[in-house]
Chain A
Amino acid sequence: MQKAIFLDNAATTRTGAGVVKAMQPWLEQNFGSPATLYSLGSQAKQAIEDARQSLAGLIGAEAKDIFFTSGATESNNWAIKGVAEALAEKGRHIITNQAEHHSILMPLRYLEKKGWDISYLPVDGDGLVDPDAISAAIRPDTVLITTVHANHEIGTIQPVAEIGRIAAEKKIAFHVNAAQTVGHIPVDVNSLGAHLLSISGHKFYGPKGVGALYLKRGVRITPLFHGGSQEKKRRAGTHNVPGIVGIGEAARIARNSMDAEIEKLSGLRDYIFAWVEKNIEDIRINGHRTRRLPNNVNFSLEGIEGESIMLSLSYPTAEGARPVFISTGSACVSGNLEPSHILLALGLPAELAHGSVRISMAKEDTREDIDYALEAIAAVAERLRNMSPVYKRGDKKCTAFDKSAGCDCEAAS
């Protein structure tokens, strides 16, 4: 098979070669548990503290405020359930928005069933939360505000610092899910005003199964895991030493490569937007055009469905063709038969959510590979549109989309 072009880096990234190399000794030779006192253990303990320092440096935090977890899902669950439980006597109201990741929404639904009251604020047509709406939603019993830093699907970057100022003023705990931003764009816990911040290792060229929660000193939170006294008794369980070493190394590399990555990928991103607008008819760009992750592209194709786009790209039939891996917000791949709740929250009609394509790049991507992928996407779109009983060229039908001024559907009518 020809070499695949992997453009699904918002789902997961390839673990960097340097990261793998840094992890290796901690699997075979230095396998000791850091909780033990003999030399094998104390070496591991030192490695963990080095990684903590490295990760803290990446987000402008102090090392002692970093707590290692198994990834962003755990960090998000811990932040939400832990703060809710610790502050249950004070109040049971939490503010979030409709376009959050499932690892935020599902713990909140769980709390809802147990008697908490959750405000799911709407987002605008670009996916932005309105800080004024957050201000207005605050009540005397509000104990937590949680927001994503940048959306994993549409790349929109939220006005986090502004929300952080509101939270500080009202003395409400503020959690930021930074799974898509840490290691990719500057994240500074202090300027964002975050009290809690979730980090995922495998989203920035680190290994899977490791992440962290930043906990500002003084934040009241109960543990999610009870057991041994690891992580100052706040997160029990033997440390994932190779993983932690890996995320530490990924953080060290990110500090050095971030500026170049931002410049390169935002250039490629804008190039892709210009290319698809010029070469593929009847598309709609999803997410904010500029307040956006450098590596994220998302658009909907009228008259076709995302799973068939994804499948066609990943199993090309032409001899010598390279597979291209992208993602879609179609219900057909969601597992729950619903199209992406994020695209629906933007106000997109279901058919455009089904026909969405997300391209998420990595720092090593080349213009040649992107060009190849774009030609492949255009060819697949053409083929599937020829097959579609509803697609009519130039006949944009997204009448249900009246939420954003950005929709130019009426142009074709």
Chain B
Amino acid sequence: MYSEKVMDHFQNPRNMGEVENPDGVGEVGNPQCGDVMRITIKVDEKEDRIEDVKFKTLGCGAAIATSSMVTELAKGKRLDEAEEISKKVVADALGGLPPQKMHCSNLASDGLKKAIEDYRSRHGN
């Protein structure tokens, strides 16, 4: 049911954990629905770039794989570029997701956007 890429990211997640003293934190989802993601970022202020990004995720295989993929896609990107990472971009990078997983478990890009918003609100721009 899952692509090889999804299984790879599920079994060997990239950037799992929490960034120390994060500049931005984004949490999305709800344990009642079975999916919660927490994205933490470190931002290079001068370059406006994501220096480091990590995730922690409660959820199904797709939830964990999309979280892992979003951190790979975001790492090193400028904030405005990282904000362009959509659910579709994440799913495509994973070689597709089963239709029922597109909405409920593909929240990682929202988590990343929230972390960027959080960074911006803390830095007043």
Contacts known (A317-B11, A389-B37); A311 close to B61, Cβ less than 8 A: yes
The yes or no answer to A273 lying at the interface (CB within 8 A) is: no
- Minimum distance in angstroms from B122 CB to a CB of chain A: 20
Q: Is the CB of A337 within 8 A of B58?
A: no
Please report the C-alpha to C-alpha distance between residue A311 and residue B2 in the assembled complex, in whole angstroms. 10
Binds B, one of A11-19, A175-183, A258-266, A346-354: A346-354
Q: Is the CB of B64 within 8 A of A308?
A: yes
Q: Which of B34, B59, B64, B101 has the most CB of A within 10 A?
A: B34
Please count how many residues in chain B sit with their CB below 8 Å of the partner chain's CB atoms. 29
Please report the C-alpha to C-alpha distance between residue A308 and residue B32 in the assembled complex, in whole angstroms. 16
Q: Which of B10, B60, B64, B105 has the most CB of A within 10 A?
A: B60
- Minimum distance in angstroms from A395 CB to a CB of chain B: 13
Please report the C-alpha to C-alpha distance between residue A354 and residue B59 in the assembled complex, in whole angstroms. 9
Q: Is the CB of B58 within 8 A of A332?
A: no
Contacts of B37 in A (CB 8 A): 389
Contacts known (A351-B31, A351-B32); A305 close to B11, Cβ less than 8 A: no
**A interface secondary structure, majority:** loop
- Minimum distance in angstroms from B2 CB to a CB of chain A: 8
Contacts of A391 in B (CB 8 A): 58
The yes or no answer to A331 lying at the interface (CB within 8 A) is: yes
- Minimum distance in angstroms from B40 CB to a CB of chain A: 10
The yes or no answer to A387 lying at the interface (CB within 8 A) is: yes
The yes or no answer to A142 lying at the interface (CB within 8 A) is: no
Q: Is the CB of B34 within 8 A of A387?
A: no
Q: Is the CB of A308 within 8 A of B13?
A: no
The yes or no answer to B38 lying at the interface (CB within 8 A) is: yes
The yes or no answer to A110 lying at the interface (CB within 8 A) is: no
The yes or no answer to A126 lying at the interface (CB within 8 A) is: no
Q: Is the CB of B32 within 8 A of A387?
A: no
Q: Is the CB of A389 within 8 A of B34?
A: no
Contacts known (A305-B34, A315-B11, A337-B100); A389 close to B60, Cβ less than 8 A: no
Please count how many residues in chain A sit with their CB below 8 Å of the partner chain's CB atoms. 25
Q: Is the CB of B59 within 8 A of A305?
A: yes
Please report the C-alpha to C-alpha distance between residue A331 and residue B34 in the assembled complex, in whole angstroms. 8
The yes or no answer to B36 lying at the interface (CB within 8 A) is: yes
Contacts of B64 in A (CB 8 A): 308, 387
Contact code string B37-49 (vs A, CB < 8 Å = 1, else 0): 1100000000000
Contacts of A315 in B (CB 8 A): 7, 11
Contact code string B82-113 (vs A, CB < 8 Å = 1, else 0): 00000000000000000011001100000000
Closest to A332 in B: B60
Q: Which of B1-34 contact A (CB under 8 A)?
A: 2, 7, 10-13, 16, 27, 31-34
The yes or no answer to B56 lying at the interface (CB within 8 A) is: yes
The yes or no answer to B52 lying at the interface (CB within 8 A) is: no
Contacts of A332 in B (CB 8 A): 34, 59-62, 101, 105
Q: Is the CB of B32 within 8 A of A337?
A: no
Please report the C-alpha to C-alpha distance between residue A311 and residue B65 in the assembled complex, in whole angstroms. 12
Contacts of B100 in A (CB 8 A): 335, 337
Please report the C-alpha to C-alpha distance between residue A212 and residue B32 in the assembled complex, in whole angstroms. 39
- Minimum distance in angstroms from A354 CB to a CB of chain B: 4
Q: Is the CB of B56 within 8 A of A307?
A: no
- Minimum distance in angstroms from A153 CB to a CB of chain B: 17
The yes or no answer to B66 lying at the interface (CB within 8 A) is: no
Contacts of B31 in A (CB 8 A): 350-351, 354, 390
Return the contact of A387 from the options B2, B57, B60 (Cβ within 8 A): B57
The yes or no answer to A300 lying at the interface (CB within 8 A) is: no
Q: Is the CB of B10 within 8 A of A308?
A: yes
Contacts of B58 in A (CB 8 A): 303-305, 387-391
Contacts of B38 in A (CB 8 A): 389
Please report the C-alpha to C-alpha distance between residue A317 and residue B13 in the assembled complex, in whole angstroms. 12
The yes or no answer to A207 lying at the interface (CB within 8 A) is: no
Q: Which of B11, B58, B62 has the most CB of A within 10 A?
A: B58
Contacts of B36 in A (CB 8 A): 388-390
Contacts of B12 in A (CB 8 A): 317
Please report the C-alpha to C-alpha distance between residue A391 and residue B60 in the assembled complex, in whole angstroms. 15
The yes or no answer to A9 lying at the interface (CB within 8 A) is: no
The yes or no answer to A201 lying at the interface (CB within 8 A) is: no
Contacts of A388 in B (CB 8 A): 36, 56-58
Return the contact of B32 from the options A317, A350, A386 (Cβ within 8 A): A350
Lowest 5 A-B CB distances belong to which pairs? A389-B38, A332-B60, A307-B60, A389-B56, A354-B34
